[in-house]
Amino acid sequence: MLAQRMSYLSGSGTAAAREAAAEAAGAGRHIIDLAAGEVMIEPPSSVREGAIAAINAGTSRYTDSIGLKPLRETIAEKLSAQTGIGWKTDNIAITAGAKQGLLDAALAVLDPGDEVIIIRPCWPTFPSQVLLAGATPVFVDARPPTYTPDISTIWATVTPRTKAIIINSPNNPTGAVYDRPTLQAVGDLAISKQLWIISDECYSSFVFTGVRHESIVTAHPSVRSRTILVNAFSKELAITGWRLGYFAAPPEIVSAAKKLQSLTTSNANVIAQHAILHHLQAGDGSFERGMHERLSEARLTGLRILSGLHDVTPPPADGTFFFYLDLSRLISALPADGPIRSSEDIARLLLDETDVGSVAGGTFGDVNGLRLSFGAPRNLLESGLKRVVKTLNSLKTTQAAA
């Protein structure tokens, strides 16, 4: 019999959506995959050169479990420039992607019985990792169209057992980018109630339309002693499979991660560490600028196509590379006894009948949402979104006739 904790884990809904799309493609269908949480471009040449140089130099040994010191130093400098807050090497741990940093954070600060506030819709790994640490996720719903959390609702959710709050801006799946007053209000609450803040900023380089990403430690510097700021190179450098991330936190959390990682995975892949170090030292920023330009154009093209939707308001898509559609108006206009009653039904229909992969909002704790990635190649994005618009616009007619 498996341990009880395994029953808490729902599995990754985003991975399941990706697998469903891959399975359909494997069966010979031409699937346009708008489900993937990654940008479909080649990684920067400086990352590849750094990896090849490390391999050719015979690099093969363990590193410190929290990473190579020069890499931690370089990240501390980069983050200091980005946040306007000074970080030192002993504030930084290198992790196998953001996921490991988030799990380190949960295991380091949560005890069984603790409660953790999570803003929903949310990336499903957050509640699963809280449960793995023996604590309880407590959800606060953020509503469309802004999907920004209501601070008084968060205050009302705090109990004597609340130990932490997880925030994720820019947000997966909603694309919301929290403004300074929101971040400051979360910070005030955390200070007043003595909470840890786990701030997932993995999409920090993906903000559009003149919106600015601000870290919570920049908006409210006094929270820094209670903040674990998690980030990764996965999305920013299009290297999701390389598994390289980091977090910045008080040294006691970094020491806890050192123990946790030495007992579980040891260090993040040494070749990936050297590759990123080379990129941070030798990269000229052109890859990052090119990626941003490409996504800005894809976003505008996508929004233009989505403006053709009849019963769905196009999303603001301020940040990340996701369009998050609120389908509530459309769903409520469909026959109550018909086959399409949720965004999950719609995601299934899109895959089965129009060969487009998407992620239903249920994955993120929201029955009304649908996530579509604009990190897909441009031509596929355009035809995929056109098919989505056509299918959604015809639903009222086809379902009434069914």
Residues that bind ligand PLP (CB under 6 A): 37, 97-99, 123, 168, 172, 200, 202, 232, 234, 240, 245
DSSP 232: E
Taking CB positions, which residue lies at the least distance from ligand PLP?
A: 97
The residue among 200 and 366 lying less far from ligand PLP, judged by its C-beta, is 200
**How far apart are CB 391 and ligand PLP at their closest, in Å?**
26
Nearer to ligand PLP, 99 or 278 (CB): 99
Beta strand 162-168 with 196-200 is: parallel
What is the nearest approach in angstroms of ligand PLP to the Cβ of residue 201? Answer: 9
CA separation for the pair 78, 87 (Å, rounded): 9
Distances (CA, A) of 104 to 16, 245, 265, 335: 24, 12, 11, 47
Cβ distance 69 to 94 under 8 Å?
Answer: no
Nearest approach in angstroms of CB 172 to ligand PLP is 4
Q: Give the other-Cβ count within 10 Å of 29's Cβ.
A: 12
In this structure, what DSSP letter does residue 42 have?
Answer: P
Please state the separation of Cα 287 from the chain's center in Å.
21
Smallest gap from Cβ 7 to ligand PLP, in A, equals: 23
Q: How far is the CB of 126 from ligand PLP (least distance, A)?
A: 8
Q: Is 47 helix (H, G, I), strand (E, B) or coil?
A: helix
* Nearer Cβ to ligand PLP (99/299): 99
Closest contact distance (angstroms) between CB of 73 and ligand PLP is 21
Minimum CB separation of residue 334 from ligand PLP in Å reads 30
User: Residue 44 has what DSSP assignment?
Assistant: P
Q: Shortest Cβ distance from residue 245 to ligand PLP (Å)?
A: 4
User: Closer to ligand PLP at the Cβ: 123 or 324?
Assistant: 123
Which is it for strands 115-120 and 245-248: parallel, antiparallel or unpaired?
Answer: unpaired
- Name the residue nearer to ligand PLP (CB basis): 287 or 355: 287
Spatial separation of the C-alpha atoms in residues 340 and 361, rounded to whole Å = 14
Minimum CB distance to ligand PLP smaller for 74 or for 234: 234
**Residue 184 and residue 138 in contact, taking contact as beta carbons nearer than 8 Å:** no
Residue type, 187: G
Q: Which is nearer to ligand PLP, 238 or 351 (CB)?
A: 238
Closest CA to 277 of 42, 53, 40: 53
Please say which residue, 173 or 283, places its beta carbon nearer to ligand PLP. 173
Q: Compute the Cα dihedral for 231, 175, 295, 347 and give only its sign.
A: positive
Token duo for residue 145: 């169209």
Q: Minimal distance in Å, beta carbon 220 to ligand PLP? A: 21
Distance of CA 322 to the CA centre of its chain: 10
Tokens of 217: 């430690």
Rounded CA separation 382/256 (Å): 46
Nearer to ligand PLP, 97 or 175 (CB): 97
